[in-house]
Amino acid sequence: MVEAVQNLLPHPVSVHHLGMYREKSTMQPVEYYNNLPYHKSGEASTVPPLAIIVDPIIATGSTVCAAIETLKDWGVQRIISISILASQSGLQRAAEAWPEGVELWVGGVDAETDERGMIKPGLGDIGDRLYLTLGK
């Protein structure tokens, strides 16, 4: 999705990665990778005014909320999150948590999630699909 979004932009932009996944038993986000450049709060920095989050699916909303929080803490003023599919409750959670300076763009919305936090009917586990780890 990153390359597709870059192709739509009028000029090249820097790409930084936040690696997050949802822990299966608690359904809480876990950050395993962050390559945002270091800077001290209040210091003149090169933090861009806009960041785009590219996340295939917003199910419970916890992971996108954590990514938004990380970017806001970093100093980003405006955030656009682009997803292929979201649950209604996940979108609502993110919109209520971040009513200012955040736009949520999604291709489709399914009504609910199941007890495992998966979108119903949804697309299954996107990580399994991307990394061919089905059944593990």
Could you give the CA distance from residue 74 to residue 129 in angstroms, rounded to a whole number? 31
**131 within some domain:** no
Domain limits for position 88: 2-36+49-126
Structure tokens at 132: 């061919």
Residue 128 pLDDT level (bands cut at 50, 70, 90): low
Q: What CATH number does residue 112 fall under? A: 3.40.50.2020
Q: How many domains does the chain have?
A: 1
Q: Is 82 helix (H, G, I), strand (E, B) or coil?
A: strand
Contacts of 15 (CB under 8 A, 6+ apart): 2, 6
Q: Are 85 and 109 in contact, with CB atoms under 8 Å apart?
A: yes
**43 within some domain:** no
Q: What is the pLDDT of residues 8-19, one digit of tens each?
A: 999 888 899 999
pLDDT for 41 = 62
Q: Average pLDDT, stretch 16-41?
A: 87
Cα→Cα distances 133→43, 120, 127, Å: 43, 20, 8
**21 within some domain:** yes
Could you give the CA distance from residue 129 to residue 124 in angstroms, rounded to a whole number? 8
Pairing of strands 50-54, 29-34: unpaired
Lowest mean pLDDT among 14-18, 45-49, 58-62, 64-68: 45-49
Which residues are annotated as catalytic?
A: 22, 26, 125, 128
Q: Average pLDDT, stretch 72-76?
A: 91
Pairing of strands 102-110, 78-87: parallel
Across-strand partners of 29? Answer: 22
